[in-house]
Structure 1
């Protein structure tokens, strides 16, 4: 349970981000959702109805260190503490390697890796012992497919970053873990040309829901997971084992 604690969810208005926010809302958390998009669907009201103590939503580019610092300050000052950070925010670029420009690599890495690293740094400066960080990586960190090289590379680096952060976080009393989701129903999966073309097939039994990832994130942030840190946990319905 995270009742009374404050939680930042990056990419909080996306499919997985909103599911994560709902999971913590049901436990009475105060929530700050950080997203490049503006809230056009009453997310704050929905989360308060789910049981959140407070909800703030900030439109920000997490590749901008100043915006990251401002978001962390908002949570710390608005809620009185910063207890949990869930790094969900991510973008995808579908291109063959030969067509990728340096700008493509930089933009994706800035959002999917550097943004998460900046939030980890802010958390380390602000959290008290007992804090927790959960990074949403991907099975692409281990096994991947065509057209997603920057995404796969960023997620592999995020897993490595998680291990490094867990080492540095341990003396601070801060745990850091990563979740590696597989095929999760949502806009990112539906946008995949590999799926649309039939080049990559997803068995219905292997298709997860955002709530599956959210439940694991909530567990990793709970006292029940107090002895777990530095881990990268696959949540893919067993799909990777059959690839």
Structure 2
């Protein structure tokens, strides 16, 4: 199995794409560290993995709090002494026009979506052995977006720039970094989006992906099979960007 004896840290592992990714990694032999804010959801993810014969733990972590991130990484390193795979999936959105958006919401979103990626990368890198991988979960909103989600789109565009820049600082034979950009995926984030609910953003249900499809792509990018892929973004969107 591709992740046997690998310690995989996944943010946003309590629902949607992150949860599906945790389950996929666990099924492929990983020791999965599930990060999220909700303990009940986290325990559910862990139970799913362990009942299938995998290994996982849940650690509560609010990515809006830098001290919590630092404490969480310290716990992981103390317990496992390394991080082989870092997957940054957790994200938040806002749904207001920029002129109406309190800048405190902008700051919070950037903290969760972007700064946490930088901090987790900074903290994990010293403990990542040769062959490790970082996968940041971006979005097609980095390339094709709608009104009222400017902060989210901005954070995802910056995330992809971060991946490109970090690829210049890392030797891909040691540690790789890439991004995966999902399109519309059947998750709570999609169906609770006010732009989707009010019809501003039209979603063809026939082209909505499943979390498991994204998990398969993320697992590939994190695996040794993607050893020559570095500093790029893989769009997993059912061809949405190809229609631009």
With structure 2 as the length reference, what TM-score do the two structures score? 0.95
Cα contact 2:10–2:86 (8 A) shared by 1: yes
TM-aligned CA deviation for residue 24 of structure 1: 0.3
Cα contact 1:25–1:52 (8 A) shared by 2: yes
Residue aligned with 1:31, SS: strand
Structure 1: stretches of 5+ with no match in the other structure = none
Which residue is 2:216 aligned to? 215
Q: Between Structure 1 and Structure 2, how many residues are aligned? A: 242
TM-aligned CA deviation for residue 91 of structure 1: 0.6
TM-aligned CA deviation for residue 172 of structure 1: 7.6
Which residue is 1:4 aligned to? 5
Residue aligned with 1:178, SS: strand
Which residue is 2:188 aligned to? 187
TM-aligned CA deviation for residue 62 of structure 1: 1.5
Q: Which of 28, 31, 44 in structure 1 is aligned with 2:46?
A: 44
Which residue is 2:175 aligned to? 174
Query: What do the CA deviations read for 1:62-114 (whole angstroms, capped 9, x no partner)?
Result: 13222222222222222232100000010111101110111011000000000
The correspondence of residues 36-115 of structure 1 with structure 2, limited to 5 A, is: 36-40=37-41, 42-53=44-55, 55-115=56-116
Cα contact 1:205–1:237 (8 A) shared by 2: no
Cα contact 1:22–1:50 (8 A) shared by 2: no
Q: Distance in 2 between matches of 1:171 and 1:28?
A: 23
TM-aligned CA deviation for residue 43 of structure 1: 2.2
Q: Distance in 1 between matches of 2:81 and 2:111?
A: 29
Q: Which stretch of structure 1 is more off in the superposition, 19-28 or 59-68?
A: 59-68
CA RMSD of aligned residues (A): 1.4
Residue aligned with 2:148, SS: coil
Tell me which stretches of 4 or more aligned residues in structure 1 moved more than 3 Å. Answer: none
Residue aligned with 1:58, SS: strand
Q: Distance in 1 between matches of 2:53 and 2:167?
A: 30
The correspondence of residues 26-37 of structure 1 with structure 2, limited to 5 A, is: 26-37=27-38
TM-aligned CA deviation for residue 131 of structure 1: 0.8
Cα contact 1:124–1:169 (8 A) shared by 2: no
Cα contact 2:13–2:45 (8 A) shared by 1: no
Cα contact 2:214–2:236 (8 A) shared by 1: yes
With structure 1 as the length reference, what TM-score do the two structures score? 0.95
Cα contact 1:2–1:221 (8 A) shared by 2: no
Which residue is 1:25 aligned to? 26
